[in-house]
């Protein structure tokens, strides 16, 4: 059981650009703050800076919208160039109504606009895409931290998603390395002897949500360290969160 957590932001990160040494920037920012990574830490990194470092940025001036994008843009009062990028990143459109586009991405995530985002792009008239493989990105960052900082950490790459049952947005894990996705209680019994049958706690999502409290959306703090997470389960990936369509009551 986790007895207590310490969560602190990694301040002082510069604007991240394609091919930047993201791990080097994190280590340098920690050193400047007289902090260092320790075994068991969870490094939570916003998807936006991971995508930027991997070059997942599209300049809208270079996008030629398709007829489908133009038609949808007229219907929803949207930028047809941005809609074209969203369509390219979309495996399946699940809902298009009142200007809201809910998509299944090629990763299997269900989210608005296939994760394509214009905010905090770092340059005008551009959008940032999700990493091609967020789990692989998390794994590379974890391995690089182990090599350069001599610390065995877990890494969670996060993005902000809406929720089907509730208002508001929260950070969720879209890439995981070194941390379980789910803590499964099925088959265990409560103090009254009742056997749990369906309970699965989204561990990495909860870590992502907790870290967002110190990261913020406008504070230019894309990295946080969560210390004290206790977990015995094996490492999983964010793909373990993808619910099969046959079990998704919202499709």
Phi and psi of 104, rounded to 5°? -100, 125
- Give me Rg for the CA atoms of the chain: 19
Question: Which residue blocks in the chain are alpha helix, DSSP H?
Answer: 22-32, 47-53, 67-76, 80-88, 134-149, 203-215
Q: What is the DSSP string of 149-184?
A: H----EEEEEEEEE-SSSSSEEEEEEEEESS-SEEE
| Cβ neighbours of 200 (radius 10 Å) | 14
pLDDT tens string 192-247:
777 777 788 899 999 999 999 999 877 889 999 999 998 878 899 999 999 998 88
For 109-162, the pLDDT digits (tens) are 999 999 999 998 989 999 999 999 999 999 999 999 999 999 999 999 999 999
Q: What is the mean pLDDT of residues 161-184?
A: 93
Q: Which fold has domain 58-127?
A: CofE-like fold (3.90.1660)
Domain boundaries, the chain: 6-56+131-243, 58-127
- Is the sign of the CA dihedral 231, 236, 238, 242 positive or negative? negative
Q: Using one digit for the tens of pLDDT, what is the confidence trace for 3-46?
A: 899 999 999 999 999 999 999 999 999 999 999 999 999 999 99
Q: Which two tokens stand for residue 74?
A: 């007229």
> Which fold does the domain 6-56+131-243 belong to in CATH?
60s Ribosomal Protein L30; Chain: A; (3.30.1330)
Q: What share of the chain is helix, strand, coil (3-state, %, to 5)?
A: 30, 25, 45
Summarize pLDDT for 56-106 with one digit per residue, the tens. Answer: 999 999 999 999 999 999 999 999 999 999 999 999 999 999 889 999 999
């Amino acid at each position: 059981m986790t007895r207590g957590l310490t969560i602190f932001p990694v301040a002082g990160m510069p604007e991240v650009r394609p091919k930047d040494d993201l791990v080097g920037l994190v280590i340098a920012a920690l050193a400047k703050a007289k902090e260092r990574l320790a075994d068991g830490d969870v490094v939570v990194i916003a998807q936006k800076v991971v995508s930027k470092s991997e070059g997942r940025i599209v300049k809208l001036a270079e996008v030629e919208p398709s007829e489908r994008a133009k038609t949808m843009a007229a219907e929803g009062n949207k930028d047809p160039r941005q809609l074209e990028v969203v369509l390219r990143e979309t495996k399946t459109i699940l809902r298009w109504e009142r200007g809201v586009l809910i998509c299944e991405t090629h990763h299997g995530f269900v989210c608005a606009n296939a994760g394509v985002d214009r905010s905090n792009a770092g340059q005008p008239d551009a959008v940032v895409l999700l990493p091609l493989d967020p789990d692989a990105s998390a794994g590379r960052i974890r391995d690089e931290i182990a090599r350069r900082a001599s610390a065995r950490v877990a890494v969670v790459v996060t993005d902000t998603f809406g929720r089907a049952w509730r208002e508001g947005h929260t950070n969720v894990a879209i890439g995981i390395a070194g941390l379980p996705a789910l803590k499964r209680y099925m088959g265990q019994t409560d103090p009254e002897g009742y056997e749990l049958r369906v309970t699965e706690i989204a561990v990495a999502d909860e870590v992502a949500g907790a870290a967002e409290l110190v990261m913020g959306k406008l504070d230019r703090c894309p990295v946080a360290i969560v210390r004290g997470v206790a977990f015995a389960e094996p490492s999983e990936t964010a793909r373990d969160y993808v619910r099969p369509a046959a079990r998704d009551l919202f499709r």
